[in-house]
Structure 1
């Protein structure tokens, strides 16, 4: 995959949200900003342009001048902290943006494609310049030209930038470009998590973020273990057994283990639960 830096724009007045701290609003138990940071976790460096706040991973902070100067001013401030040849540019209010969309944008603008970048389009075919990848050299050039022509970048619309670049369009799908501008959008995003069969994945990710755990979890394996413990031993054994498996895996991971440590501990506990069940009714 093409190496890149990321800039996340997390400023703005959020007027349609009554001035609420939009990047800090939670969807599925996770701040909107943290959800976007997860989508660009492979970035060499990540710059967040906006007010400082706790985040799920380390970032570099920047502020546009003047504060509230708009997306081009924020982008210019962020670019001063990047060095990669490609820059992923994202707004901080995209609850369903995933790493797969970032990878698709990078692939569409990879060396040899002859474009200056790639941006997503929403379901209506509208450009989404804050869900995009840009080559750093033409991006810096056009930002400098706009600043020289207009005496700065504050207040300028993004279209002045995108019209000067050769960009590939990538359909975003129904969710990747969904942004939260109103309380209705926030409510819709929160409901969608629970209505579209992803609640377990969302919950596991939220728990890992809350506990500071960076580990792939085989949810199916743990659910099978909980089922075997509940059916073969007793219902209360299910949560207690999965806790003990996690504790054992945590101790073992200190020796350099990874997801395979969890899997091995779960297999051992599941086999024990089956042996326990087999003894029921034995003479």
Structure 2
């Protein structure tokens, strides 16, 4: 675990349109839900873990995690989930100054995610850090400063900002690259076909 107290948030507020709706993290890979895989890899890296999701929180009761809903209306996207986690940390765990967000449909997350994001942020004197693999950044997989929550709320509510990389471009940003072979750690299951591919990848992901 990193020496910096860190809250992990699993973003599960998506509408899963390409899978016909429902909760993508509750689909199964290898006989377990994607969310089970995410929690197993992510939880040991964090001081606390919350789940960002809207609607009835009872559907996630088996995971015994606080379920934090968006505080900005009309499903504005993952930035709203990040803001909800920053607000939750400030109100419930004021000793935690950092939040790491991950997508709820990424079953092969790296086990050194939080440590490497913090290392890059400190090394480069950055305000934020983001993950990358295969030459592509993953804006949803990021390290966020709780102290920036008012700025983020302003961007979301007053500026109607939706794209994560538009907001992060305002700050010094560290980018951390992971190898994409033999398995891209940020593979995400967006479609039914992705679920089939993930079944095979799970055998070599370790």
Same fold, TM-score > 0.5, yes or no: yes
1:80 to 82, 87, 93: 87
Q: Which residue of 2 aligns with 1:130?
A: 140
State the distance in 2 between where 1:146 and 1:95 align.
30
What's the offset of the Cα at 1:56?
6.3
Report the structure number with the largest CA radius of gyration: 1
Unaligned runs of 5+ in 2: none
Q: Which runs of 4+ in 1 moved over 6 A?
A: none
1:192-220 CA distance string (max 9 Å, x none): 223x3x6xx6xxxxxxxxxxxxxxxxxxx
State the distance in 1 between where 2:22 and 2:200 align.
20
Q: Which residue of 2 aligns with 1:157?
A: 163
State the distance in 2 between where 1:77 and 1:3 align.
18
Q: Which residue of 2 aligns with 1:33?
A: 35
What's the offset of the Cα at 1:178?
0.9
Structure that is richer in strand per residue: 2
Q: Work out whether residues 39 and 102 of structure 1, in 8 Å CA contact, stay in contact via their aligned partners in 2.
A: no
What's the offset of the Cα at 1:30?
2.0
1:50-96 CA distance string (max 9 Å, x none): 14234665321111142533112222222211131111111101011
1:70 to 73, 77, 83: 77
What's the offset of the Cα at 1:147?
3.5
**Matched pairs, number:** 191
2:127 to 101, 111, 116: 116
Q: TM-score, normalised by structure 2?
A: 0.82
1:104-156 CA distance string (max 9 Å, x none): 2222224x641112111121x22212112122223x14303314532x66xx2
Q: Which residue of 2 aligns with 1:225?
A: none
Q: Work out whether residues 45 and 59 of structure 1, in 8 Å CA contact, stay in contact via their aligned partners in 2.
A: no
2:173 to 146, 167, 172: 167
Q: Which residue of 2 aligns with 1:106?
A: 118
Unaligned runs of 5+ in 1: 202-283
Structure that is richer in helix per residue: 1
Q: Is 1:14 matched up with 2:33?
A: no
Q: Work out whether residues 101 and 172 of structure 1, in 8 Å CA contact, stay in contact via their aligned partners in 2.
A: no
Q: Which residue of 1 aligns with 2:198?
A: 189
What's the offset of the Cα at 1:41?
1.3
Q: Which has the higher contact order (CA 8 A, sep 6+)?
A: 2
Q: Which residue of 1 aligns with 2:47?
A: 44
